[in-house]
A and B are shown apart, each in its own frame.
Chain A
Amino acid sequence: MADVTAETAATRQVSFASLRPSREAVVGTLAVLAFLVLWQVAPSMGWVNGRFTSRPTEVFFAAIDVFMKDDFLFHARISLTEFVAGFALAIVVSIPLGVLLGTSKIARYLIDPPLMALYIAPTLVLLPIMVIWLGIDMAPKIAVVFLGAVFPIVLNTMAGMSEADPRFLRMARSFGATKLDIFMRVLVPGSLPALLTGIRLAVGRAVLGVIVGELFVSQAGIGYQINLYGSAMRIDRLLVYVLIVSAFGYTLTILVRSVENKIRDWRSK
Chain B
Amino acid sequence: MAQIEIRDLGIDYRKPKSNEVFSAVDKVELSIEKGEFVTIVGSSGCGKSTLLMAVAGLVNLSRGSIKIDGKEVTGPGPDRAVVFQEASLLPWRSVRGNVKFGLEMQRWSGGDLNERAMQMIRLVGLGRFSDYHPHQLSGGMRQRVNIARALAVDPEVLLMDEPFGALDAQTREIMGTELLRIWERHKKTALFVTHDIDEAIFLADKIVVMGRNPGHIKEVIKVDLPRPRDEAILDSDDFHNLRKRLRAHLAEDMSSMQLVKEVA
Q: Is B88 an interface residue (CB 8 A)?
A: yes
Q: 1/0 per residue A152-188: CB within 8 Å of B? A: 0000000000000101101111111100010001100
Q: How many residues of A contact B (CB 8 A)?
A: 23
Number of A-B contacts (CB under 8 A): 59
Complex CA distance for A266 and B136, rounded to whole angstroms: 8
Complex CA distance for A176 and B90, rounded to whole angstroms: 16
Interface residues of A in 49-105 (CB under 8 A from B): none
Write the nearest CB–CB distance from A171 to chain B, whole angstroms.
Answer: 4
CB-nearest residue of chain B relative to A172?
A: B105
CB atoms of A175 and B84 under 8 A apart: no
Partner-B contacts on A (CB < 8 A)? 165, 167-168, 170-177, 181, 185-186, 189-190, 192, 263, 265-269
CB atoms of B135 and A175 under 8 A apart: no
Q: Is B196 an interface residue (CB 8 A)?
A: no
Q: Is B18 an interface residue (CB 8 A)?
A: no
Q: Is B106 an interface residue (CB 8 A)?
A: yes
CB-nearest residue of chain B relative to A165?
A: B88
Complex CA distance for A168 and B86, rounded to whole angstroms: 9
CB-nearest residue of chain B relative to A168?
A: B88
Given A174-B56, A175-B76, A176-B105: A167 in contact with B92 (beta carbons within 8 A):
no
CB atoms of B58 and A173 under 8 A apart: yes
Measured between beta carbons, the chain A residues less than 8 angstroms from B101 are 172, 175, 185
Interface residues on B, range: 20 to 34
Q: 1/0 per residue B17-61: CB within 8 Å of A? A: 000000000000000000000000000000000000000101000
Complex CA distance for A168 and B77, rounded to whole angstroms: 17
CB atoms of A266 and B88 under 8 A apart: no
CB atoms of A185 and B88 under 8 A apart: no
Measured between beta carbons, the chain A residues less than 8 angstroms from B104 are 181, 185
Complex CA distance for A232 and B102, rounded to whole angstroms: 68
| Known contacts A165-B88, A266-B92, A266-B134; 14 further A-B pairs (Cβ under 8 A) | A168-B90, A171-B84, A171-B88, A172-B105, A174-B56, A175-B102, A175-B105, A175-B153, A176-B78, A176-B106, A189-B92, A263-B92, A267-B91, A267-B135
Measured between beta carbons, the chain B residues less than 8 angstroms from A266 are 91-92, 133-135
Q: Is B82 an interface residue (CB 8 A)?
A: yes
Write the nearest CB–CB distance from B120 to chain A, whole angstroms.
Answer: 14
CB atoms of B81 and A174 under 8 A apart: yes
Q: Which of B81, B92, B102 contacts A192 (CB 8 A)?
A: B92
CB atoms of A167 and B86 under 8 A apart: yes
Q: Which of B58, B91, B133 contacts A174 (CB 8 A)?
A: B58
